[in-house]
Structures are given as structure tokens and as C-alpha cells.
Chains A and B, each alone.
Chain A
């Protein structure tokens, strides 16, 4: 979900995704490279993201991932599910 959200802001390469998550979460969430690439591969296989080779900002060839239509839809679903979950946890914590 985090990857999908990150990509919803625009296409990005693997390193960029990791950096973006780290920055926006103010270093709370640290995506391990060991899990990032398998996760991207899984998303590719589910057709939620697509990949293309482009020049990076440092003029090197890098693989840029971007969301597909299905990916956008999936993000919506996951976000709403997540919000429901957070809301539910919040209610439990408040009443306790």
C-alpha cells in the first residue's frame, strides 16, 4: 500500500520509492531493499504497477515504476480498508 501510495504521486524508481517513504515518514518507516524489490515484482505480476526504463535525474538508466488503472483502484480499496481499520482501532482505544 505504501508503495502504491508513493507511486500515486508520480512514477519513481526503486531507490526513489524507498527514499520517499523514509522521508515522508520522517525515518520511522525504513523500507528494506531486501523486501522492496520482491514486493515490486509482485505488484508487477498483479498488473498493479508497470515499469519502464528511463533516464534518471543523474542521467543514468533506471527502471521507473508507475501505477496502472488497476493499481489506482487497488490503492483506493486498500486505503478505505485501512482507514476503517484505523478508525476501529481508534474507537477501541478511546473506549478503553
Chain B
């Protein structure tokens, strides 16, 4: 019989079956005739013939097995499995949900982690990109080589060397011109900049990056539209061009291809928009995601204009401001490139002016295939923490599946033993159980993937807060899908099949009786599994408790100002060439216009908005407290008129800053309570002197008032000593300010009215970042809130799963001991005692679990320390409530089976035995 015949047999199962049946019947009939011929009665012959043939079913099964495709029995099992799932919906739903929750959480975190930490840049052959980094020992600033360092923070590696990615222009020029190891060398300004972009009649704000002409060629990118920046564009004589990012192109330019070729105004420079970058490209640092790229020649020209004609900053080799990346030639190793580049670097970095002993900073070439590494550091600890939590949920889910399969397997022991007794081989039974497991896990996996979609979105929101949104797209990719499938299969096979196989083994030995050692063994395993679940739960609940308490503490902090009905927005006229007098006049004009709008109670402007928007600090000399050599630090706020009134900050002593503080009047400042307490020893500081400015150029000011403490910048931080300086008197010109408007009534129309007012003053200065102060505070706490929510969510999942596990085990234990409980009742135990016994056993398991879990929770608390505010990792309230919650939950899980135990009818129970 070949495959075709086999297939036919499969398709005509009915006929095959009938023919087999007929053949067997014929056989038995023939035997019968023979027996009659040998002298038996017809009746006896009939019986004997059947006895001699043995089990017809078994023969059938065996013949069938010889001819059947393995697929056929699988299909059969699949149908049977689905029937079993339908027959036992609670079991199936709980297992599928457990797996789905565990898998969903893990897939979501794995997806985000993969994108953030593992994925390479979407450029041609990212593996050949190397980034130049310079290293110094012991954090000593290499001042013999460097006066100014622009760009990313320095990163310390394991050997204690601190590495930074910025280089002077001379290094870039040397490597680009002389390197034989790199087929292409490109560079970009390490700092991105906020710019105003004039688009005909309107202005938008965007992020700008200056890149060398070789940048896009070096990365090997293909434009989405138009063309990218070419080496010939990077020349002071070439016409100005700009490339726009895909997101900006789609959102602000409506994805209109006609926009390519148009002129835009970037700060003051008109430039032609020549193309759109590919959709998935966000630059080398995904935290920056520029909206525009311009050639370094234009970038340098703009810098020059802002800095003044005598500043040669960008060509000065003491200013390190460029990130330099090279693409290795094929066949050249990184070591060869390093040897050559180190020599070029050594020559290019200006020789020390004094002393020959200064060692040149060390050069290294870092793998740039994943872009810059800073993002990973920023998020990795939170992600690992979340991954740990998700893993705990998955473990609980697995334990749950195992417990349930164990209990159900024991319940099905009779069925399995019967099947084996009727002629099913053990392999066949295991195959059937495997298919049931796979069915459950595939269902769990599918549901888990759905859940993960939602959870990924939540996670991204968590990572996307604050001022720098992530420019990365997270997609569910084949490896993630494989990961999900692998996890679910491993979980269900390990946790579902292992107990099932154990049961078939004992079933093989023909045990149909219920009170075997094997049953007791599986019950013990079940209790151990539940204890582990409880232990993991303790950790999760504790973590959630700590996060919730942290959030609560943060939300109940007294801010010191009234955020209700305060709206803020930002203008950056400094980017459009406003300076000094003109700049101040712009601010005053806009303030006047805004104050006149309907619904505005009071308006002001300041260097920073109150919460989460940065701060600057400087040193102050206060006669009688410190010396001009040893000055004390203060946090500096430059504010406009009516600042305190608008934000509702009470003035405790003296007066607020106001219109009488003019550029020509005596320097006036307001200090906060903390400064008064710390630097004036609690005495009345009003009328006292404070010397701001530098030692060379001191600025003598008089304290005119004391304001109540306000939490600026980070809500978590202690209030620093703060000085408020009127904008009219500050020597620092503010290129940009935040306007703060206190409103009454409906404010929905306000943004448009403000925009109209600003457009009237100067259409090229955009009004950006409209926000309500309430929303700012909410946003500021969003990390804490999302963390608290996520960990509470995980803890809830864990609790529900552990509760189900506990309930299942106890209920199963009660069912198993029906006889024993019956005996107890029969000999006079009170029903209450039975209940107490069952509940007591439940609580014992819970207490054991809690005892195992507490050390784990302790370590987890330590790991969470950096995320907490206002409490330690061993906050007793959290600990007590976590343990209490678990005990309460386990009590509830025990009460229901305890009630059914107490309701056992002793007579029925004993008869059953």
C-alpha cells in the first residue's frame, strides 16, 4: 500500500472500518462453524469463538495503527482535545488565561527590550560602522587638549576610563582625508538643537542636526523622497539645503511631495528642502530623532553668526563638538583601523602648550551598529526590573498550569487507566495528552499576543514621557513571535505534560484505585507549587505596594504654588535673531497682548515653567554667612513681572518683584524660605545684601522679599535655596521663555488667541508647547504612575493566579479526602472543626509561601530603591499590608472548599469508600 492508498484509507475511513469489521465477523463465524463441527452446541460455539478471537477492538486498533498515517491519530486527538476543552471550560479558560497573561507580559517587555537594546540601526551594513571615542583616566578633564566639550555625557567603562564621543573638527578632517582603513568617514554635531522653521506663512518648532556631507552616503541610506545631503552641499559656497525627517514630513507637511524643492527658513537661514529621510531612520541617537538635517557648513555659519565674528569655536581644536563615525573597508579589522586612527588622532589633537608630560587621551573605536549607547543605559534598569516582574508572573502562571494539570490528571486517572486497559498504548495516551497541552498553549499564545499588543503600547507610553520622546518604532517581529510560541510551548509542555506522563506511568501499573501513594505524591507536589506561587506573589505585591505608596507620597507633596488654571507656552525669539533690547521688547509686547485676552487673570513669563522643566544654579556670596572665595550654591530663576501673583506663590516677608525693578534701579532679588533659613540663619533677610555674579564681575543685590518654598524641576528633590531675579535686571539674555498664564473660565480658545497675538508681533516666531500646569505635573509623575500601575497590575495577575492555584489544590485535597472527612464526621467531629482544619491547611501553605517569599521581596525592594520616594525598601506598612493581603486572599481561597468539606454527608462518603 503506497501513500496514495494510505490517503485513500484515510479518506474512506468508514469503508476501511466496515471491511475490517466484516473480515473479523467472517473469521469468528468460520471459527464458530469449526467448533460446531467438533461437537459443541451452537450456543457454546458462539461464545468460544468470540473468546478465542479476543478483543475485537484491540485487533481493530492494531490493524488501524499499522496502516494509519500518524496525522490521522493527531487529528483524532485534536478533535478529542477540543471536546475535552469544551467539556471542562473552567479548566481550559483558567489555563489559557494564565498562559496568556504570562506570555503577553513577557512578549511586550521582550519586544520593547529588543527594540531598545538589540536592534541594529536601519542603515546599510551597520556592523561595519565604528565611532571614535576618547578616554581619560580617573575623570580628569584633559584641559591641555580641550577647553570645551559639547555633547553627550561621558560614560565610564569597567576599567575606570571615562569615554566621550565628541571630537574636534581637526580629528574629523584628518581621519576623513588620510584614513585608509575607512571607506567613508562622516560626522555630525554632538548636540542637537531646537530650531524655529519658517514654512511660508507659519512657523514650526523642530530639532536640528548638523551633519557632514558624507553623512547619508556613509550610512548608505536611500531617500524616501527627493535626495539626501551630498558631499558637495557641505561647502560654504554651496546653496543652503536641508533634509526633513519622515515624521515631520508626514505630520507638519502633510506628506506632500510638492513640498520638496520649496524654501524653508531654518532659524534665519533660508534653505531649500531637497528630500525626505527614510521612514525608519531617526539618526544615530534614537533619543534625539532630528526633524531636519543641514550640512555642517550651514550649521557652522549659523553658529558663527550667533557667537560673533571673533569666535573661531568650531575650527578650534580645543572645542570638541563633533561625533565622528567611520565605515570600515571590507577586509580591514577594527584593530588595524584603531592603530591607524590613533596616530591620526594624536597628530590632530593640538600638542600641549605647556609641559610635554601630558598624555594624549586614549582613542578607542566603539561599535556604532546600534547607534549611540546612551538610551540603553537610560532605560535598561527599569526594563530589567519590569522583565523580572513579568517573569515572576509567567512563573506563577506556569505553576498554575502545573497545579491544575496535576489535579485534573489525577481526576482523569480512571479514564486513562481505562483507555490503557482497553488496548491503547502508553505512547498513544501520551500523544493525546501532548496534543491537549499544545492546544491549550497555542490558544494561550494567541491570546497572549493580543494582550501583548496592548501592553507594548502601555510600555512605550512609559518610556516616552518627559521632554525627549523616543524616535523608535516598535514592531512585533518574527523573532518575537517565535519567542512567544517557544515560551508557551515550553511552559505548557513542562508544566502540563510532565505531570500527565507521571500519571500515565502509574495508570499503566493498573491502578484505578484512588488512594495510592502516587496520588499523595502529586498532592504534595501540588502544595509545593502553590507555596512557590504564594512566594512569588509576596514579591509582586510588595513591589506594587512600594510603588503605590511612592506615587501617593509624590502626589500629596505640597508644591508651594497653585497649578490649577495655569496654562503655559514657550516662545524662542532668540532663535530668530532677537537680542538684548529687542528681545526684551518682544517679551513685553507679547505679555501685554496676552494679558489683554479674555479669560486671562494674570500673566507672566520666566526662564522655566515650574515643574519638570530644568533649572540652573550658580554661586552666591552673602556677607556675614560665607566669603567671596567660598560661595554657596543657589538655584536661579529669572522671572518677569507678576510672577508670584500669577502662580499664587505667597510672599512671606517683604515684597514681590515688580515694575519698579528696572534695568537702572538697584538690584533686587527675592529668596525662598529655604535660602533664608540656611544662609541667613533664620533671621529676616529683607534688606540684607547678596552678591551674585562672578568674583571678577560682582553684582550687588538687595533681598526685597521672601517667598514660600516651591518645588521646581524634580518634585522628588528637596527644595534648594532659590533666588528669583527680575528679567529686567539680569545680565543673561534669555533666548527663550515660558509664558505662564493664570486663567478664569473656559480656556479652550486661549491657544488660538495667543497664536494670533504672537503672529501679529512676528509671524516667524512660533508659539510652542502649549500645556496646562496640571498636565505638566501629571506628565512629570507619569513614570511613577505607570510603574505603580504596571506593578499593581502584575501583582493582581499574580494574586488571582495564586488564588486559583490555592483554591484548586485545596478543593482537590478535599475531594480526595472525602472518605477521611466522612470518618471524622461519623466519629463526632463538628463541622466547624472540619472547616477549621481545611482553612488551617490552606493558611499553612500560604504561610510557608510567604516565609519563602519574604527574602526575595527584600532583594526586590533593594532593586527598586532608586524608584522610590519618601520611604525605604522595608517600609513596614507595605510589608504588613502585603502579607495581610496574601493571608486574606488565601483565607478566601480556602473557605469555599472548607464549606464543601463541612457539607460532606458522612454516610454517602463512607459508602463511596
Chain A positions near chain B (C-beta within 8 angstroms) = 13-15, 18-19, 32-34, 37-38, 41-42, 44-47, 53, 56, 58, 60-63
- The residues of B that contact A37 with a CB separation of less than 8 Å are 20, 23-24, 59, 62-63
Cβ contacts A to B, 26 pairs, < 8 Å: A13-B26, A14-B23, A14-B27, A15-B27, A33-B59, A34-B59, A34-B62, A37-B23, A37-B24, A37-B63, A38-B62, A41-B66, A41-B67, A45-B1, A45-B6, A45-B66, A45-B67, A46-B1, A47-B2, A58-B30, A58-B33, A60-B26, A61-B22, A62-B26, A63-B22, A63-B26
Q: How far is the CA of A83 from the CA of B177 in the complex (A)?
A: 88
Stretch among B50-58, B375-383, B789-797, B823-831 lining the A interface: B50-58
Chain B residue at smallest Cβ distance from A42? B66
* A44 and B1 form a contact (CB under 8 A): yes
Q: Is B31 an interface residue (CB 8 A)?
A: yes
Chain A residue at smallest Cβ distance from B52? A33
Instruction: Report A74 CB to chain B, min CB distance, Å.
Output: 15
- The residues of B that contact A15 with a CB separation of less than 8 Å are 26-27, 30-31
* B59 and A56 form a contact (CB under 8 A): no
Q: Is B315 an interface residue (CB 8 A)?
A: no
Known A-B contacts A13-B26, A62-B23; A34 and B55 likewise in contact (beta carbons under 8 Å): yes
Q: Is B367 an interface residue (CB 8 A)?
A: no
Instruction: Report A30 CB to chain B, min CB distance, Å.
Output: 10
* B23 and A63 form a contact (CB under 8 A): yes
User: Most chain-B Cβ atoms within 10 A of its Cβ — which of A13, A33, A42, A63?
Assistant: A33
Chain B residue at smallest Cβ distance from A62? B26
Known A-B contacts A38-B62, A38-B66; A33 and B23 likewise in contact (beta carbons under 8 Å): no
Chain A proximity mask over B821-850: 1 for CB below 8 Å, otherwise 0: 000000000000000000000000000000
Q: How far is the CA of A33 from the CA of B53 in the complex (A)?
A: 6
- The residues of A that contact B27 with a CB separation of less than 8 Å are 14-15, 18, 33
- The residues of A that contact B66 with a CB separation of less than 8 Å are 38, 41-42, 45
* B33 and A47 form a contact (CB under 8 A): no
Chain A residue at smallest Cβ distance from B19? A63
- The residues of B that contact A47 with a CB separation of less than 8 Å are 1-2
Q: How far is the CA of A61 from the CA of B19 in the complex (A)?
A: 10
- The residues of B that contact A46 with a CB separation of less than 8 Å are 1
- The residues of A that contact B55 with a CB separation of less than 8 Å are 34
- The residues of A that contact B661 with a CB separation of less than 8 Å are none
- The residues of B that contact A53 with a CB separation of less than 8 Å are 19
Chain B positions near chain A (C-beta within 8 angstroms) = 1-2, 6, 19-20, 22-24, 26-27, 29-31, 33-34, 52-55, 58-59, 62-63, 65-67
Known A-B contacts A13-B26, A45-B67, A62-B26; A34 and B19 likewise in contact (beta carbons under 8 Å): no
Chain A residue at smallest Cβ distance from B67? A41
Which of A33, A42, A56 lies in contact with B54, CB distance below 8 A? A33
| Apart from the given pairs A37-B59, A42-B66, 9 other A-B contacts in the complex at a CB distance below 8 Å | A15-B26, A15-B31, A33-B52, A37-B20, A38-B59, A44-B67, A56-B26, A60-B26, A63-B22
Q: How far is the CA of A47 from the CA of B31 in the complex (A)?
A: 28
- The residues of B that contact A32 with a CB separation of less than 8 Å are 54
Q: How far is the CA of A61 from the CA of B25 in the complex (A)?
A: 11
Which of A41, A60, A61 lies in contact with B63, CB distance below 8 A? A41
User: Most chain-B Cβ atoms within 10 A of its Cβ — which of A45, A58, A61?
Assistant: A45
- The residues of B that contact A56 with a CB separation of less than 8 Å are 26
- The residues of B that contact A13 with a CB separation of less than 8 Å are 23, 26
Instruction: Report B23 CB to chain A, min CB distance, Å.
Output: 5
- The residues of B that contact A38 with a CB separation of less than 8 Å are 59, 62-63, 65-66
Q: How far is the CA of A56 from the CA of B25 in the complex (A)?
A: 13
Q: How far is the CA of A41 from the CA of B58 in the complex (A)?
A: 14
Chain A residue at smallest Cβ distance from B66? A41
User: Most chain-A Cβ atoms within 10 A of its Cβ — which of B2, B6, B29, B66?
Assistant: B66
Q: How far is the CA of A32 from the CA of B6 in the complex (A)?
A: 25
- The residues of A that contact B67 with a CB separation of less than 8 Å are 41, 44-45
Instruction: Report A78 CB to chain B, min CB distance, Å.
Output: 19
Chain A residue at smallest Cβ distance from B6? A45
Instruction: Report B222 CB to chain A, min CB distance, Å.
Output: 58
Q: How far is the CA of A75 from the CA of B121 in the complex (A)?
A: 68
Q: How far is the CA of A82 from the CA of B681 in the complex (A)?
A: 114
- The residues of B that contact A18 with a CB separation of less than 8 Å are 27
Q: How far is the CA of A14 from the CA of B54 in the complex (A)?
A: 15
Q: How far is the CA of A18 from the CA of B26 in the complex (A)?
A: 13
Q: How far is the CA of A13 from the CA of B6 in the complex (A)?
A: 22
Nearest 5 CB-CB pairings of A with B: A15-B30, A45-B1, A41-B66, A38-B62, A15-B27
Instruction: Report A51 CB to chain B, min CB distance, Å.
Output: 9
- The residues of A that contact B53 with a CB separation of less than 8 Å are 33-34
Instruction: Report A67 CB to chain B, min CB distance, Å.
Output: 15
Q: How far is the CA of A15 from the CA of B66 in the complex (A)?
A: 20
Q: How far is the CA of A55 from the CA of B66 in the complex (A)?
A: 26
Q: How far is the CA of A49 from the CA of B505 in the complex (A)?
A: 38
Q: How far is the CA of A75 from the CA of B293 in the complex (A)?
A: 84
* B26 and A34 form a contact (CB under 8 A): no
